[in-house]
Structure 1
Amino acid sequence: MRRIGILTGGGDCPGLNAVIRAVVKTAVNEYEMEVFGIEDGYRGLVEKRIRPLREEDVSGILPKGGTILGTSNRDNPFKWLTYKDGKKVYEDYSDLAIKTIEYNELDCLITVGGDGTQAIAYKFFEKGVPVVGIPKTIDNDLSGTDITFGFDSALQVATTALDKLHSTAESHHRVMVMEVMGRFAGWIALYSGIAGGADVILIPEIPFNIKKVAEKIFQRLKSGKRFSLVVVAEGAREEGGEYVFRKKVEDPDMPIRLGGIGAKVADEIEELTGIETRVTILGHLQRGGSPSPFDR
């Protein structure tokens, strides 16, 4: 094996550049291999956008967030969006991607990504492409992996934010609701909530009853605690309820863009308790910035 390709897929997170750097330095210095970077995830593989990565190309990127290769969470070579007669059609472009691999004489494809990226990588493996998957997701929800890089950095952002909300909630005697990422897994909400002393933590895995949330806040009020902190994952939902989403999107795997559960919970808490309630949505702050030492 002398030539390997690497791509970053899905949402970005702190630590991607550290992985790219580690792959290049190890492959070049220890195994005398050539490394090629594929731009913008699987889109670059289909569109033949690939370039050599040398040591000088990865110099200085260790503490930087994002990915020097670019990424995409919408492109699936096995379900490629095309237009025919003005209509949207999904076609299988995986053979075009494989031709890019063969043309560049890549002996192995390294895919850095989460569940979506690795599911696609497995399909390429089934078609005979040697693949090495590196687990990346701030959600920490990859099966068979105890912890994924990106999670620790996102956790630090969320915990720091909750610490700051604690002081303003206490000063104004309010309920503060913090919405964090996590479509189907509540690891960020759970870990940051525990670390930051949240009074209520709502996660996708356990549907919640808003009346019980209000009861918890009333209990704190009776004990002299005039403020409360609530952490809610974006994929959390009420018992028997549906996902709260901002808009529908053209994605065959996840046709909705989640968001808004924090505001919904805040409104319902204020209505049930009469206590002024505010919401903070961390959003993409959890994906940006320098990686933590663990994620490097």
Structure 2
Amino acid sequence: MKIGILTSGGDCPGLNAVIRGAVLNGTEHHGIEFVGIRDGWKGLVEGDFFPLTRHQVKGLSKVGGTILGTSRTNPYDGERGGPENIAKTLYGHHIDGVIAIGGEGTLAAAQRLANDGINVLGVPKTIDNDLRATDYSFGFDTAVNIATEAMDRLRTTGDSHQRCMVAEVMGRHVGWIALHSGMAAGAHIICIPEVPLSLEDICDKVNSAAERGRAPLVVVAEGFKLIGQDEAYSDKGLDAFNRPRLGGISEVLAPEIERVTGIETRSTVLGHIQRGGAPSGFDRVLATRLGLHAVDAIVDGEWGQMVAMQGTAIVRVPFSDALGELNTVPMERYEGAATLFG
């Protein structure tokens, strides 16, 4: 059996650990041959493959990024896209199926290909933790740790100048990174997409913190919307899946907070720093386990599914369980965090 592996969508700490886990399990226990697919669905469509052996994956669990490269290509686009052309490409290279490691967009494409007869198995990847059917996705823990450290640093400079610091984190349309990192860093208010707030709500907490002699820390998810705002802030166009590229809401909020409160306010967009660098220990272990179990699922012929973490176990679920609705922050989780605000 020969299996291709691809990583698609935004890069994420832990991708290489999945690749390593899959290749080691497949080659050592099942006699599977692997090929790397360069740059996500783009490489699959174009037939850009290379041998992926134990030698290529040695020491990868601690390495950030992806040795395969990634892109946001839609496998149904272009002259060589679509299931019929992809099936011919796989057949021509004697590849029996594909492990697709990615987030919501990648897994939606994988589900569509699986429904069209291509052997695809999914591995969930997203720092946003926005996929249903898995309690945690690898990359999330690392992103939270990076964001927390950055906020700790912002608080020291905020304390020195008695400034309000607004830290913007990723997450697209869910607030998990903001919630966890904001709680860990002791934010005075956390703004997430699931809970629209008014400027007055935010400024009340900023003033409350300042009155107690604190330098206010505001944490805002990139997909946050003020009450009355129809869409999340975006001025960066669309990605390959026609989704808006979010980011910059903190730069809108900071001058408004300063205007209303009179407190000097600075914004910091953490951006892609949350995706970079070595994965945390938790993410290395989770990613490795997902890679191992992905191969076991393939050996059992469980194509058209996704491996996922539920509780402490790794299970197999249909793509449909993970797609359609986002894994949003429950209101009770936000209300618990809100007890600490101000």
TM over 0.5: yes
| Cα distance in 2 between the residues matched to 1:131 and 1:111 | 7
| Cα distance in 1 between the residues matched to 2:239 and 2:157 | 39
Identify the match of residue 271 of structure 2 among 275, 283, 288: 283
Q: Report the TM-score, using the length of structure 1 for normalisation.
A: 0.92
| Cα distance in 1 between the residues matched to 2:59 and 2:210 | 51
Summarize the Cα distance change of 1:92–1:81 in structure 2 as closer, same or farther, 3 Å threshold.
closer
| Cα distance in 2 between the residues matched to 1:166 and 1:250 | 33
| Cα distance in 2 between the residues matched to 1:33 and 1:267 | 57
Question: Which residue of structure 1 aligns with residue 97 of structure 2?
Answer: 108
- Asked whether the 8 Å contact 1:8–1:69 carries over to 2, the reply is yes
| Cα distance in 1 between the residues matched to 2:46 and 2:139 | 28
Question: Which residue of structure 1 aligns with residue 311 of structure 2?
Answer: none
- Asked whether the 8 Å contact 1:179–1:282 carries over to 2, the reply is yes
| Cα distance in 2 between the residues matched to 1:269 and 1:97 | 52
SS of corresponding position for 2:99: strand
* More displaced stretch, 173-182 vs 93-102: 93-102
Question: Which residue of structure 2 aligns with residue 88 of structure 1?
Answer: none
| Cα distance in 1 between the residues matched to 2:191 and 2:222 | 9
| Cα distance in 2 between the residues matched to 1:228 and 1:250 | 34
| Cα distance in 2 between the residues matched to 1:81 and 1:130 | 21
Following TM superposition, by how much is the alpha carbon of 1:93 offset from its aligned partner in structure 2, in angstroms? 3.0
Say yes or no: does 1:261 pair with 2:249: yes
Question: Which residue of structure 1 aligns with residue 44 of structure 2?
Answer: 45
One-letter amino acid of the structure 1 residue matched with residue 74 of structure 2? N
Following TM superposition, by how much is the alpha carbon of 1:38 offset from its aligned partner in structure 2, in angstroms? 0.7
1:156-195 deviation digits (Å, cap 9, x = unpaired): 1001111111111112111000011111111100000001
SS of corresponding position for 1:77: coil
Say yes or no: does 1:60 pair with 2:69: no
Identify the match of residue 75 of structure 2 among 60, 68, 77: 77
Root mean square deviation, CA, Å: 1.5
Instruction: Give the alignment of 1:205-244 within 5 angstroms.
Output: 205-222=194-211, 224-241=212-229, 242-244=231-233
Instruction: Give the alignment of 1:158-173 within 5 angstroms.
Output: 158-173=147-162
1:173-224 deviation digits (Å, cap 9, x = unpaired): 11000011111111100000001100110111111111111111222233x2
Q: Report the TM-score, using the length of structure 2 for normalisation.
A: 0.80
SS of corresponding position for 2:62: coil
| Cα distance in 2 between the residues matched to 1:60 and 1:94 | 35
| Cα distance in 1 between the residues matched to 2:200 and 2:258 | 11
One-letter amino acid of the structure 2 residue matched with residue 150 of structure 1? G
1:90-136 deviation digits (Å, cap 9, x = unpaired): x9533222222222222221110001000000011101222211110
| Cα distance in 1 between the residues matched to 2:252 and 2:67 | 37
| Cα distance in 2 between the residues matched to 1:172 and 1:246 | 31
Question: Which residue of structure 1 aligns with residue 337 of structure 2?
Answer: none
1:133-164 deviation digits (Å, cap 9, x = unpaired): 11100001111110000111111100111111
SS of corresponding position for 1:57: coil
| Cα distance in 2 between the residues matched to 1:166 and 1:23 | 41
- Asked whether the 8 Å contact 1:46–1:94 carries over to 2, the reply is no
Structure possessing the higher relative contact order (Cα contacts under 8 Å, 6 or more residues apart): 2
Instruction: Give the alignment of 1:92-107 within 5 angstroms.
Output: 93-107=82-96
Following TM superposition, by how much is the alpha carbon of 1:239 offset from its aligned partner in structure 2, in angstroms? 1.0
**What percent identity do the matched residue pairs reach?**
49
Aligned residue pairs, count: 283
